[in-house]
């Protein structure tokens, strides 16, 4: 995908983490579990560190933890593609929960399948780090991009 | 809907809150924001109390707060309909975010549109308490019901 | 819902059927199976007549038949609410198939849960006419409304 | 993906087309527009030939055409993975329409992200053949697999 025609990302991982820490301190603030690992044009890879506090009965990581990871990951992919100009708003998030996550870090790869002027749409694959290729969740999200950018 | 052919709920609000407090202490434990207000066969009405700690920049209530409300509300509607026999597992949650919530309590009405032996499907309407009829979010969810019940 | 504050529909059933017959002759043309039965502000009730040609093996009505009914019904609800000014475009359709339809007419009740300037979102309940209250499918759809209206 | 650990498909393209022609003659029968181009374990690539009869006003290919392509493609990927033993039933189909298709063949690549005993979940990327990499639609689908297989 990173061929000559792909533009570079408009924000680095460090710039994104600084931006997110300021804008979403509850998710990305001090002691945060959610991290940006890599970005490219229309792409972000996120990590959610394992923390026993997220656990549901039976030892599984909660659905909201995975939904937050998918939603913030697509938001990061949009920021990486268009820069911090105008905040995109989530209009739809659809999550399929595929198997019980292991008590491990979660990795999410987020790709935009559309990046228009008014709408961006992306998909997210989430798996347990070190547990093989089977996904624990798959999501799609739609974001409304403010017209004034 | 509550005509003569509608069976009564299998758990009362008090029984459901006690069950949830034990099973999901992070969501329904002491100082909890999420409450069961009413249940019937295939129905639950939930309340999420307003708390500034949920706020995102711009004063809006976070998406994960609304997703948690929708998910737990459908789970409560299933428990009210079949009792605490075998834990249903969320397999899909699809949320449309319709407008920015006011800094107020959220109310969710959750109705099961299918209650089968293996699958339950429901829909959720969420609005800001005291802000009129316009929904702030609408969700649908699918739950896998364990075969051994 | 039809209280004093609800505006009347901007198109009648007859006007809608004439409009649809011209714009979508393959769906609403001569010998058509899809019909508008009733409309109100933010609402449409549709009927899809039973026809053995729609049948899949096992006697069930095809998924695309139900998806077309849901999609056109929400489109009709938008037209009834804002008039034939600028064509709305479907950006998302999410359908839950709940049970095998009977070999009968399908009825769809379509309600808009959001009617904004740029986006409309609605939900659809579909059942087999004369087969009781259990839904055969439930759908949600999102429509982009052209800015120039 | 086709590494040493990937099992071969359980049906060939020719076997699948013969099966589909018999089971779904309205979609895959004589003069059919829908074709299986390639399969692998958990994968199918489909083609929908361009035909002016599918056109909607404005020259676009209809939403139901794309929904049928996504739904049948995931069904083919399941057949290719488990063989023709017990018919899978679509329980959910979620389609994001991303841009207006060109008047050309549509190509769909369908991948299963989960293949369990009771549920299969897949995603579909659809684009216009010869029009570059931008998707015209993206879909996810869930299928219930009969327990008696």
Smallest CA–CA distance, residue B125 to chain A, in Å, is: 14
- pLDDT of chain B, 149 residues: tens digit per residue: 445 578 999 999 999 999 998 888 778 877 778 999 999 999 999 999 988 766 555 556 788 889 999 999 999 999 999 998 778 999 999 999 999 998 899 999 999 999 999 899 999 999 999 998 899 999 999 999 987 64
Res. C61 pLDDT band, cuts 50 70 90: confident
DSSP per-residue string spanning D94-137 = EEEE-SPPPSS-EEEEEEEEEE-SSEEEEEEEEEETTS-S--SE
To probe the interface with B, which of C90, C92, C113 has the most B CB atoms within 10 Å?
C113
Residue of C nearest to D96 (CA): C92
* Cα–Cα distance, A11 to A139 (Å, whole number): 24
Q: Give the residue with greater pLDDT, A86 vs B48.
A: B48
Chain D residues whose C-beta sits inside 8 Å of any chain B C-beta: 91-92, 94, 118-119, 142, 144
Res. D64 pLDDT band, cuts 50 70 90: confident
Q: What percent of chain D has pLDDT over 90?
A: 64
Minimum mean pLDDT among D12-16, D19-23, D124-128: which range? D19-23
Res. A149 pLDDT band, cuts 50 70 90: very low
The pLDDT score that the predictor gives to residue A115 is 96
In CATH, the number for domain C13-144 is 3.10.129.10
Chain B residues near residue A126 by CB distance under 8 angstroms: none
Res. A58 pLDDT band, cuts 50 70 90: low
Asked if the model's pLDDT at residue C136 lies above 80, the reply is yes
Smallest CA–CA distance, residue A96 to chain B, in Å, is: 4
Q: What is the pLDDT of residues D101-121, one digit of tens each?
A: 988 999 999 999 999 998 999
Residue of A nearest to B138 (CA): A92
Q: Verify whether the Cβ–Cβ distance D63 to C67 is below 8 Å.
A: yes
Q: Note whether D41 and D80 are within 8 A (CB).
A: yes
Neighbours of A5 (CB within 10 A): 8
The pLDDT score that the predictor gives to residue B148 is 60
DSSP C96: E
| Assigned token pair, C145 | 């409304």
Asked if the model's pLDDT at residue A148 lies above 90, the reply is no
* Cα–Cα distance, A52 to A27 (Å, whole number): 16
To probe the interface with B, which of D89, D90, D92, D122 has the most B CB atoms within 10 Å?
D92
Chain B residues near residue D146 by CB distance under 8 angstroms: none
SS3 for A101?
coil
Contacts of D among chains (3+ CB pairs under 8 A): A, B, C
- Comparing CB atoms, the residue among A67, A87, A90 nearest residue B97 is A90
Smallest CA–CA distance, residue A123 to chain C, in Å, is: 14
The pLDDT score that the predictor gives to residue C53 is 65
The pLDDT score that the predictor gives to residue C3 is 55
- Comparing CB atoms, the residue among B92, B118, B144 nearest residue D92 is B92
Chain B residues whose C-beta sits inside 8 Å of any chain C C-beta: 94, 96, 98-99, 113-114, 116, 121, 123, 125, 134-135, 138, 140, 142
Domain ranges of chain C: 13-144
Asked if the model's pLDDT at residue C97 lies above 80, the reply is yes
Q: Note whether A58 and A109 are within 8 A (CB).
A: no
DSSP per-residue string spanning C5-45 = TSPPPSS-HHHHHHHHHHH-HHHHSTT-SEEEEEEETTEEE
ipTM over 0.95: no
Distances (CA, A) of D45 to B115, D35, D108: 35, 9, 6
The pLDDT score that the predictor gives to residue B147 is 74
Q: What is the pLDDT of residues D24-59, one digit of tens each?
A: 877 887 777 899 999 999 999 999 998 876 655 555
Residue of D nearest to A114 (CA): D98
- Comparing CB atoms, the residue among C56, C68, C92 nearest residue D64 is C68
């Amino acid at each position: 995908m990173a061929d000559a025609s792909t533009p570079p990302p408009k924000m680095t991982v460090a710039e994104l983490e600084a931006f997110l820490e300021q804008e979403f301190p509850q998710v990305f603030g001090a002691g945060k579990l959610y991290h940006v690992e890599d970005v490219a044009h229309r792409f972000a890879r996120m990590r959610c560190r394992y923390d026993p506090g997220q656990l549901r009965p039976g030892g599984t990581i909660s659905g909201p933890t995975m939904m937050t990871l998918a939603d913030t990951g697509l938001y990061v992919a949009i920021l990486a593609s268009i820069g911090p100009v105008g905040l995109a708003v989530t209009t739809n998030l659809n999550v399929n929960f595929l198997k019980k996550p292991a008590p491990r870090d979660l990795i999410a790869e987020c790709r935009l399948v559309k990046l228009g002027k008014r709408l961006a749409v992306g998909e997210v694959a989430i798996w347990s780090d070190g547990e093989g290729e089977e996904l624990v969740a798959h999501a799609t999200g739609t974001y409304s991009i403010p017209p004034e950018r």
